């Protein structure tokens, strides 16, 4: 039953044509666009080759056989980073394959749903709606029911009241008169609600946030959230590998703009 | 006939499933893709709930019942901000619902069309074309004809010649030899033509511009245009509420990168 | 046989309805979404006019008759800039028309395919996949086979070993411990492989890169790549005209954020 990671990745990513076909099989049977939210499929390796044989070779040799098999970050975590980057960049064409791969790599449906929920706030509502449309189809096809999406015990995670009070004070002093609404929602909805939801571990929630920030070029917001990610248990090696993953899925320039900031954050850690 | 604002918003946003169905009814009847430009629909509350019950709750409790009902900015202005952010971010999946809601909130078809025209220049031609495709379908469905899209008296708005001469001089000195084409078009097409079109009030045109800048992370361009927006009549309270609206539709990081700049602009006002 | 440039551009861009129809004719005949990757078409001038008569006038008078006919940058190079900007911004609705126009303007299929390959790294894998989906359909429709996509002699271009060693040393010193993976792939896959592929001239590859950087707001990465572009033969006049083209296809704010950086690069040239 247990595939070695490299086999698992190959099965999930190299055989994209099988995945992609499965992914749109139901959708393709009818044209009832009032029932189906998305009907796109991700290009297969063969599709890529018809447009660029060179890109197909990079896909096989560098991405599937190389990047996804690197040590330092698990395939499951690479999927968390990749899906977050695609949602942040609204890359809907690549999403069907990578959301499917994420489930195959062990991201629980509950976690995937919470990544989308989290990014509704950190990447914008419209980006989340694109991901909802695609994920809705994949859940229908896989028979994933709403009962699988909540944690059994829905207790909010514990809050470090002192640290949260300091954060809230700083933001209130900085921007309380500029936009009282933003300041209020940041406390009430984000830090005293969203971040305490047990559907996603804080370390993973931070990894999602940092990935989205890098992928959308929001360099100024990286120091706070990368520091928080490391407080939540992300290691420097994992962060460096997340940046490697992001070089491919968010593009080299996004990562090169983030590297000097990451270096400062790493240097400032005790 | 007159609904209270909160009822209007609830009708327009909470009953998204009705809107969304109506929105694609004609499109869904045929598969003639040479006649239909877009056939997407925005996920309904029920669709969201199948992917994330938590996100559906946020949609109902925080966004529809909360954000859209806040004082400080009218539902009509919130729609102007939201549609501008979606066009700037190319959020095509959320667009059908929000463009429909904008018309229900009192944004005139003439104004909506001019928002798209304005953003062809301020968010790029390709972003405008995505909005054209979706709006074309909505206008067809609602029977909105071209005759509704122009102001009766097509006189250009008055121009402050002295202020425009100062702006043009500064840009010419800064960038006249770097890109003569950009400098020339900025004067001829933007400030002596587009900004003088009477289809949209200058205050609204500025609100569209600032929303697009925040939503696309163009922080360096905010000071000029936020100052101009306030010269054109946007109050500080409205600007702060626009940022609150944008936190949801452009994502928290975009707004937190804009807040320090907005604070400086507010502090520098007489 | 030979059309004057302005006629060629008019044929390729003003008669978008003919192009667009051709572009989706095969796709529209069936609804087999497992065989078809994209079925979008770009709005025609008539479509634009139904949403905004003003925007249709700008399309005809300013863009088609104006911008595309300007001296200083060939229609072929304008297409290279435009397609790069659309891929970097994931503007899938405008892509079918502009990819078709690029081929009509003399961008070879081999070059177009290599632009997509290059941008898989410089604009992110997901952006490239959107372009693959659309280009795949256009190649099928035009009968462009894989044999047309490789150069006859597949020798890598010569490398300036000393300059590359300096670049690699700097990046290793700056970020070698921050993200060893990024540093390694930057050398092995980008500068010792991708940039040496003969399918695209280095000057064009640089033009693609700079266009994508401007179009995605990656200002911090412009100095290195604009300098490299000029080392590779791009003139200052061409760079200034590329910025003019980008003002329309990436939006005014992206270009105004790039102008101060371009000025510095120009001032620093010998």
Nearest to A91 among C90, C181, C217 (CB): C90
Longest dimension (CA), chain C: 59
Tally C-beta pairs within 8 A across B and C.
167
The Cα-based distances of C219 to B90, B259, C92, C216, C247 in angstroms read 21, 20, 23, 8, 15
pLDDT band per the 50, 70, 90 thresholds, residue A35: very low
ipTM confidence score: 0.89
What per-residue confidence (pLDDT) applies to C36? 52
- Average pLDDT over every residue of A192-198: 97
Coil vs helix vs strand at B4: coil
Q: Region B216-242: what's the mean pLDDT?
A: 98
Q: Do residues B38 and B92 touch, judged by C-beta distance below 8 A? A: yes
* CB nearest to C124's CB, from A240, A244, A250: A250
Average per-residue pLDDT for chain C: 88
Mean pLDDT of A177-189: 98
Q: How far is A261 from chain B (nearest CA, A)?
A: 15
Given this model, what pLDDT does residue B40 score?
Answer: 67
CA distances from C26 to A57, C19, C41 (A): 29, 13, 12
Q: Which of C86, C182, C184 to mutate to test the interface with A (most CBs of A within 10 A)?
A: C182
- The pLDDT of residue A270 is 87
pLDDT of residue A37: 61
Q: Which pLDDT score, from 0 to 100, does residue A52 have? A: 97
At B151, the pLDDT band (50, 70, 90 cuts) reads: confident
Please state, in angstroms and as integers, the Cα–Cα distance from residue B249 to each residue in A76, A269, B23, B56, B196, following that order. 29, 33, 21, 16, 28
Q: Which range, of A15-19, B95-99, B215-219, C225-229, averages the lowest pLDDT?
A: A15-19
Residue B27 has pLDDT above 80, yes or no: no
Query: Taking CB atoms and an 8 Å limit, are C247 and B185 in contact across chains?
Result: yes
DSSP secondary structure letters along A90-125: T-TTTHHHHHHHHHHTT--HHHHHHHHHHHHHHS-H
Contact across the interface for A130 and B24, Cβ inside 8 Å: no
B218/C254 Cβ within 8 A: yes
For residues B266 and C199, what is the distance between their CA atoms, to the nearest angstrom?
Answer: 52
Task: Go through C158-183 and write b for each residue having 16 or more CB atoms within 10 A of its CB, e for each that does not.
Answer: eeeeeeeeebbeebeeebeebbbbbb
In tens, the pLDDT along C125-143 reads: 999 999 999 999 999 999 9
Under the banding of pLDDT at 50, 70 and 90, the label for residue B154 is confident
What's the pLDDT band for B161 if we cut at 50, 70, 90? very high
- Per-residue confidence (pLDDT) for residue A230, from 0 to 100: 98
pLDDT number for residue C33: 41
The pair phi, psi for residue A123, each rounded to 5°, is -125, 5
- Cβ of C52 within 8 Å of Cβ of B185? The answer is no
pLDDT surpassing 90 at residue A1? no
Contact A129 B85 (CB under 8 A): no
Average pLDDT over residues B183-207: 97
Chain C residues within an 8 Å CB radius of A92: 130
Look at the alpha carbons of C226, C228, C230, C234 in this order and tell me if their dihedral is positive or negative.
negative
Q: Mark yes or no for CB contact C218/A257 under 8 Å.
A: yes
pLDDT in tens, C249-261: 999 999 999 999 9
Q: For residue B134, what pLDDT band results from cuts at 50, 70 and 90?
A: very high
Instruction: Give A144 to chain B, closest Cα distance, Å.
Output: 9
- Locate the chain A residue with the closest alpha carbon to B246: A124
State percent of chain A over pLDDT 70: 84
> Does the distance separating the beta carbons of B262 and A221 come in below 8 Å?
no
- State the chains in contact with B (3 or more Cβ–Cβ pairs under 8 Å): A, C
Lowest mean pLDDT among A209-213, B22-26, B261-265: B22-26
Q: What is the pLDDT of residue C90?
A: 98
Instruction: Kindly tell me if the per-residue pLDDT of A12 is higher than 50.
Output: no
What pLDDT does C150 receive?
77
Of B43, B241, B266, the CB nearest to A129: B43
Shortest distance between the Cα of A243 and any Cα of chain B, in A, equals: 19
- Residue A36: which pLDDT band, with cuts at 50, 70 and 90? low
Q: Which two tokens stand for residue B219?
A: 């922080």
| Chain A residues within an 8 Å CB radius of B241 | 179, 181
A-chain residues near C178 (CB < 8 A): 240, 243, 259, 262-263, 266
Q: Does pLDDT of B21 surpass 90?
A: no
Contact (CB<8Å) C243/B179: yes
Contact criterion met (CB < 8 Å) for C178 and A259: yes
Q: Is B113 close to C52, i.e. CB distance below 8 A?
A: yes
**What is the torsion angle, in degrees rounded to the nearest 10, for the CA atoms of residue B17, residue B20, residue B22 and residue B23?**
180
How many of the other CB atoms lie within 10 Å of CB of A161? 9
Q: Which of B215, B249, B252 lies nearest to residue A122, judging by beta carbons?
A: B252
Cβ atoms < 10 Å from Cβ of A61: 11
HSE of C118 in the Cβ direction (CA atoms, 13 Å)? 30
**Which chain A residue shows the shortest CA-CA distance from B27?**
A33
Contacts of A59-64 with C-beta under 8 Å, sequence gap 24+, read A60/A14, A62/C185, A62/C189, A63/A13, A63/A248, A63/C125, A64/A9, A64/A10, A64/A13, A64/A14
pLDDT number for residue C41: 83
Q: Is the pLDDT of residue A13 over 70?
A: no
Contact B53 A179 (CB under 8 A): no
For the whole model, what pTM was predicted? 0.91
Contact C259, B177 (CB under 8 A): no
Integer Cα distance of A29 and C221 in angstroms: 46
Contacting residues for B71 by C-beta, under 8 A, at least 6 apart: none
| Mean pLDDT to the nearest integer, B101-108 | 98
- How far apart CA B102 and CA B96 sit, in angstroms, is 10
Q: Please enumerate in sequence order all residues whose Cβ is within 8 A of that of A123, keeping only pairs 6 or more positions apart, or say none.
A: A87, A88, A212, A216, B251
Residue predicted with more confidence, B10 or B156: B156
The rounded average pLDDT for each run of 10 residues, N- to C-terminus, in chain C (270 residues) is: 44 36 32 50 94 96 96 98 98 97 98 98 98 95 91 86 97 98 98 97 98 98 98 98 98 98 96
- B234 closest CA partner among B212, B208, B253: B208
Contacts of C58 in chain B (CB under 8 A): 117, 120, 189
**Choice between A23 and A75, residue whose per-residue pLDDT is larger:** A75
> A40 pLDDT exceeds 60?
yes
Phi/psi class of residue B106: alpha, beta or left (left: φ > 0; alpha: ψ in -120 to 50)?
Answer: left
**What confidence tier does A217 reach under pLDDT thresholds 50, 70, 90?**
very high
Q: Which has more pLDDT, B30 or C138?
A: C138
Contact yes or no for C132 and A48 at CB 8 A = yes
User: Which of C41, C47, C51 to mutate: most B Cβ within 10 Å?
Assistant: C51
């Amino acid at each position: 039953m247990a595939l070695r990671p490299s086999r698992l990745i190959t099965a999930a990513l190299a055989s994209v044509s099988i995945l992609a076909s499965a992914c749109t099989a139901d959708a393709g049977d009818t044209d009832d666009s009032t029932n189906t939210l998305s009907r796109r499929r991700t290009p297969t390796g063969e599709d890529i080759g018809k447009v660029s044989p060179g890109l197909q070779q990079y896909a096989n040799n560098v991405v599937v056989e190389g990047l996804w098999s690197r040590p330092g970050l698990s395939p499951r975590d690479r999927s968390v980073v990749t899906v977050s980057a695609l949602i942040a960049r609204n890359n809907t064409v690549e999403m069907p394959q990578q959301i499917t791969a994420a489930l195959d790599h062990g991201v629980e449906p509950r976690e995937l749903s919470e990544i989308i929920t989290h990014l509704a706030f950190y990447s914008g509502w419209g980006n989340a709606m694109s991901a909802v449309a695609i994920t809705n189809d994949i859940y229908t096809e896989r028979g994933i029911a709403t009962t699988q999406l909540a944690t059994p015990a829905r207790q909010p995670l514990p809050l470090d009241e002192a640290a949260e009070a300091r954060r809230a004070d700083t933001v209130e002093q900085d921007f309380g008169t500029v936009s009282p609404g933003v300041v209020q929602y940041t406390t009430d909805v984000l830090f005293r609600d969203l971040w305490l939801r047990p559907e996603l571990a804080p370390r993973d929630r931070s990894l999602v946030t940092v990935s989205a920030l890098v992928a959308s070029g929001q360099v100024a917001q990286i120091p706070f959230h990368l520091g928080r990610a490391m407080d939540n248990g992300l290691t420097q090696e994992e962060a460096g590998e997340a940046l490697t993953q992001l070089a491919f899925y968010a593009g080299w320039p996004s990562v090169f703009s983030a590297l000097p900031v990451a270096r400062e954050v790493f240097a400032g850690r005790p």
